[in-house]
Structure 1
Amino acid sequence: MDTSAIVWVLISAALVWIMTPGLALFYGGLASTKYASNTVFLSVIILGLAPFVWMVLGYSLAFSGHGTFIGNFDHILLNGVSFSKTTMGLKIPDGAFMLFQGMFPIITAAIITGSVVGRVNLKAMLLFIPIWLVAVYAPLAHMVWGGGWLAQIGALDFAGGDVVHISSGVSGLMLAILVGKRHKPADEKDTPDSIVNVVIGAALLWIGWFGFNGGSALEANATAILAFANTNIAAAAAMVTWFIIDFSRTGKAKITGALSGGLVGLVVITPAAGLVAPASALLMGMIAAPAVYFLVDFLKRKFRYDDTLDAFGFHGIGGIIGGILTGIFADKADGGLLATGSLHQTLIQLVAIGVTIVFAAGMTFIIAKLVSLITPLRVEKAVEERGIDTALHGEYISIMNSPQFNNRFRAPGSGSGHFGKQ
């Protein structure tokens, strides 16, 4: 065992864990004041649900056996998982590998919730998420990273373009379609609850992504350094590109826009982080930003779906673009188009992306329909219109949004939000 590798992987695991509270703040800050607490809660509860599922069954199905599509039950309840030696030829014990990999399903499931916050039935989500982790995440992790079919055909996914981002984005979209659009007055605007929370959340996501991508090297080596550098380069390039486009179109220098661009860059580099040169990471960020910027609005207008916080737009579309660009920009050893002049790897990438989309969408549809037989997928219209934070949670991300604050400090009858006398 290599002590430096163990330390690096454990630190990286902690960084990946912190991404989910970061996503909670990012999503919660962007959400309407009517469901900001609901948005944060759905991510927070997954911090408990996903590790439970991973320990009991998920890790075994993802990383045991030699199945084409899924593992077996050898490591249920982490049975036989060594915390002192490796059976995988790595420089870290199997327990450290399990711990690091176990952080990924947490953030993956949390991403899905962004598509349906404010209107999804909590009971339905508490049933949906564990089943989805077993029936969708675990098989995809096995197919890509556990020696399954997509690994066997040579698909490249360094840190989760298929397994994390496309699967969660597509599943979020399917769930949003099944749950239905939000009920809201035509003149109600989606005003972010807290820009401060958006900034804090984005910062936690960005720093966590260094562990997400850099840790996927599974040791402290040159590949980890490359992945770490490429993560920052792609995010920076996408942030600047997004800002230039948005500012030129709207005339407003928006914090949320710049940070959204950075997030797109982080998504697009994920499958390629340790496989491409820094110059390619720069180009990937610059290509992804305008592609996602224009596609998100176009697809939502064209197909009229309600992806509340653009989980599909950022993670689904960004992941698809990242997977394709990985096949184009990967180094010569990995068969990248520009390095070899061959389309072979790019075609493999398209196959893996297609399989992920079809599998995630199909299984999400089936799981959601099964859950709907037990409990409705969405809350009652009256609860939604009143605000799910008030009806279900009774707590508020910002005290200024609470009824107690409004009743005490706002002038009676004031609809402008100005403070009145006590």
Structure 2
Amino acid sequence: MAAPPPNSVPEAYQAGTSLAVPPWLNKGDNGWQMIAATLVGLQSVPGLVILYGSIVKKKWAVNSAFMALYAFAAVIICWVTWGYKMSFGHKLLPFWGKAGPALGQKFLLEWATLPETNQYFSNGELETAMIRPYYPMATMVWFQCVFAAITIILLGGSLLGRMNIKAWMMFVPLWLTFSYTVGAFSLWGGGFLFHWGVMDYSGGYVIHLSSGIAGFTAAYWVGPRSRKDRERFPPNNVLLMLAGAGLLWMGWAGFNGGDPYAANIDSSMAVLNTNICAATSLLVWTGLDVVFFNKPSVIGAVQGMITGLVCITPGAGLVQGWAAIIMGILSGSVPWFTMMIVHKRSKLLQNIDDTLGVFHTHAVAGLLGGILTGIFAEPQLCKLFLPITSSRGGVYGGSGGKQVLKQIVGGLFIIGWNLVVTTIICNVINLVTPLRMSEEELQIGDDAVHGEEAYALWGDGDYDPSRQDPKYSDDKLPHQASSGATQVV
């Protein structure tokens, strides 16, 4: 058999090798995109399931983990039934797509397209062609689905330890439908902010700013945890919390590395910048804890990691490495300041019980990242990704000053929409079922809500065994290793 000609593409990577390999399919892009989607999925399940179940008080471990697990499953069904096309389909309004299913073979096996993303010059000439990655719609639908899912799970971090699980089960599909799809279409799917040139590389606004503002708003309407829980809410397992945080960090390679919709050079830049910013932010947050509190907090380190990941997200593939370090310094200090200083002095922030501080770690860090992207976005990197070819950050002169204004306006739209829509959703749900758990459930925790507990240990969160099933009376209780569990602080 004759040797293949020099520089030829191996047959295994060529199109047309079977009916399942159409001429437009790029196997490398398709493979990377499916891996990226899996990495983002792992951030939620098991990443945030583990993190939420571990960072809360023991009596809320099951409920917190289940809120994340339920949201992931519910979003998938809503997404393929109507949500995807509302976010990336044909335009209904300047900020919303037409609802429709993404379930049919004919649609899912077609060449992926985002139909409203053609960008035109003011004279009507085509500036940038419609986004059309080299893989099928099925890959695009799943990739975008895991982003929608993690957004609502992040939002849920504001509501842990007191939201009625039935209300949460209603909240998830409603918020996906009336809030997430609007942000996704407006900024990514060809809506008015996309064509105006607002930069959101991978979800600083669509995911993090929206989840932080919506979570904070929902926390107001749901009400606070019990007084006892607010006064003392130690994590039940710090090591497992770190495992969940590690899955979140490593999964961000798919989060930011998958958003060029290709395994290209911009994807590589995005992954490297993501890790640079996260590491810098973690170190800065930890350093501030040591300087001001004389101890490096493990939870603080996780918060610093998260704020770094969030801050770089809107500009991951648009900024240079030195800018990623600056963004990391600011993401490790500005949210630290709002959480540790401003929060303790603000009556409003004190009154609203945001369980995991999602407002600070996602809303503040997301808006900060969006504005910094408008400052540091490098022109050549912008050309690799953005529909407006002349895009640039403020430090590069030209139209860069306008870009900062665009970033602020885009952020204000996401903030305003989520404040209003989340308020409406919460009040509608409250007409059907209470948003908050009963006082008995708040006192008992997981066993009252789910009939299950995370650990077979005595300690904070347990209650009189005689109130359990009669078969577990005192003389029939399973053997306990000790009469008191060590509480991790």
Give the TM-score category using the shorter length: over 0.9
- Asked if 1:338 corresponds to 2:395, the answer is yes
Q: Out of 16-25 and 90-99, give the one that drifted further.
A: 90-99
Structure 1 residues 406, 210: closer, same or farther in 2, change over 3 A? farther
Instruction: Give 1:85's aligned residue.
Output: 111
2:437 is paired with a residue of what secondary structure? coil
Q: Alpha-carbon deviation of 1:383?
A: 1.4
For the Cα contact (< 8 Å) 1:65–1:74, is it kept in 2?
A: no
Question: Could you tell me which amino acid in structure 2 is paired with residue 113 of structure 1?
Answer: G
Give the Cα separation in 2 of the matches to 1:134 and 1:186.
32
Instruction: Give 2:35's aligned residue.
Output: 11
Question: Could you tell me which amino acid in structure 1 is paired with residue 396 of structure 2?
Answer: A
2:407 is matched with which residue: 345, 349, 373?
Answer: 349
Q: Out of 89-98 and 228-237, give the one that drifted further.
A: 89-98
Alignment of 1:283-294 (within 5 A): 283-294=326-337
Give the Cα separation in 1 of the matches to 2:230 and 2:371.
39
Task: Please say which structure displays the higher CA radius of gyration.
Answer: 2
Give the Cα separation in 2 of the matches to 1:187 and 1:315.
21
Instruction: Give 2:481's aligned residue.
Output: 409
1:366 is matched with which residue: 424, 427, 432?
Answer: 424
Instruction: Give 2:278's aligned residue.
Output: 235
Q: CA RMSD in A?
A: 2.1
Q: Out of 265-274 and 33-42, give the one that drifted further.
A: 33-42
Instruction: Give 2:60's aligned residue.
Output: 35
Give the Cα separation in 1 of the matches to 2:487 and 2:410.
50
Q: Alpha-carbon deviation of 1:225?
A: 0.2
Alignment of 1:208-287 (within 5 A): 208-287=251-330
Structure 1 residues 401, 317: closer, same or farther in 2, change over 3 A? farther
Instruction: Give 1:69's aligned residue.
Output: 95
Give the Cα separation in 1 of the matches to 2:246 and 2:486.
32
Instruction: Give 2:78's aligned residue.
Output: 53
Using structure 2 for the length normalisation, give the TM-score: 0.81
Q: Alpha-carbon deviation of 1:385?
A: 1.8
Which structure dedicates a bigger proportion of its chain to helix?
Answer: 1
- Asked if 1:314 corresponds to 2:361, the answer is yes
Q: Alpha-carbon deviation of 1:33?
A: 1.4
2:258 is paired with a residue of what secondary structure? helix
Give the Cα separation in 2 of the matches to 1:139 and 1:185.
38
Structure 1 residues 4, 345: closer, same or farther in 2, change over 3 A? same
Instruction: Give 2:437's aligned residue.
Output: 379
2:248 is paired with a residue of what secondary structure? helix
Structure 1 residues 347, 417: closer, same or farther in 2, change over 3 A? closer
Q: Alpha-carbon deviation of 1:397?
A: 3.1
Q: Alpha-carbon deviation of 1:312?
A: 1.5
Alignment of 1:386-405 (within 5 A): 386=444, 388-400=445-457, 403=462
Instruction: Give 1:23's aligned residue.
Output: 48
Give the Cα separation in 2 of the matches to 1:12 and 1:111.
19
- Asked if 1:169 corresponds to 2:194, the answer is no
Structure 1 residues 417, 76: closer, same or farther in 2, change over 3 A? closer
Give the Cα separation in 2 of the matches to 1:320 and 1:350.
8
For the Cα contact (< 8 Å) 1:236–1:262, is it kept in 2?
A: yes
Question: Could you tell me which amino acid in structure 2 is paired with residue 72 of structure 1?
Answer: K
Instruction: Give 1:195's aligned residue.
Output: 238
Instruction: Give 1:156's aligned residue.
Output: 199
Q: Alpha-carbon deviation of 1:316?
A: 1.0
Structure 1 residues 312, 80: closer, same or farther in 2, change over 3 A? farther
Give the Cα separation in 2 of the matches to 1:416 and 1:40.
21
Q: Alpha-carbon deviation of 1:382?
A: 2.1
Give the Cα separation in 2 of the matches to 1:307 and 1:232.
27
- Asked if 1:115 corresponds to 2:158, the answer is yes
Instruction: Give 2:16's aligned residue.
Output: none
2:371 is matched with which residue: 316, 320, 324?
Answer: 324
Question: Could you tell me which amino acid in structure 1 is paired with residue 268 of structure 2?
Answer: I
Give the Cα separation in 2 of the matches to 1:173 and 1:78.
37
Give the Cα separation in 2 of the matches to 1:118 and 1:221.
42
Give the Cα separation in 2 of the matches to 1:301 and 1:124.
31
Where does structure 2 lack aligned partners over 5 or more consecutive residues? 1-24, 114-130, 383-390, 466-476
For the Cα contact (< 8 Å) 1:233–1:281, is it kept in 2?
A: yes
Partner deviation per Cα, 1:43-72 (whole Å, 9 max, x = no partner): 011121010000000001111113411111
2:343 is matched with which residue: 299, 302, 317?
Answer: 299
Where does structure 1 lack aligned partners over 5 or more consecutive residues? none
1:379 is paired with a residue of what secondary structure? coil
Question: Could you tell me which amino acid in structure 2 is paired with residue 395 of structure 1?
Answer: E
Structure 1 residues 186, 373: closer, same or farther in 2, change over 3 A? closer
For the Cα contact (< 8 Å) 1:50–1:105, is it kept in 2?
A: yes
2:480 is paired with a residue of what secondary structure? helix
Q: Alpha-carbon deviation of 1:86?
A: 3.1
Give the Cα separation in 2 of the matches to 1:164 and 1:110.
10
Structure 1 residues 248, 202: closer, same or farther in 2, change over 3 A? same
For the Cα contact (< 8 Å) 2:457–2:485, is it kept in 1?
A: no
Structure 1 residues 362, 187: closer, same or farther in 2, change over 3 A? closer
Q: Alpha-carbon deviation of 1:74?
A: 4.8
Give the Cα separation in 2 of the matches to 1:187 and 1:384.
12
Give the Cα separation in 1 of the matches to 2:135 and 2:337.
43
2:167 is paired with a residue of what secondary structure? helix
Structure 1 residues 82, 380: closer, same or farther in 2, change over 3 A? closer
Give the Cα separation in 2 of the matches to 1:177 and 1:325.
29
Give the Cα separation in 2 of the matches to 1:186 and 1:14.
35
For the Cα contact (< 8 Å) 2:279–2:328, is it kept in 1?
A: yes
Q: How many correspondences in the alignment?
A: 415
Instruction: Give 1:101's aligned residue.
Output: 144
For the Cα contact (< 8 Å) 1:410–1:417, is it kept in 2?
A: no
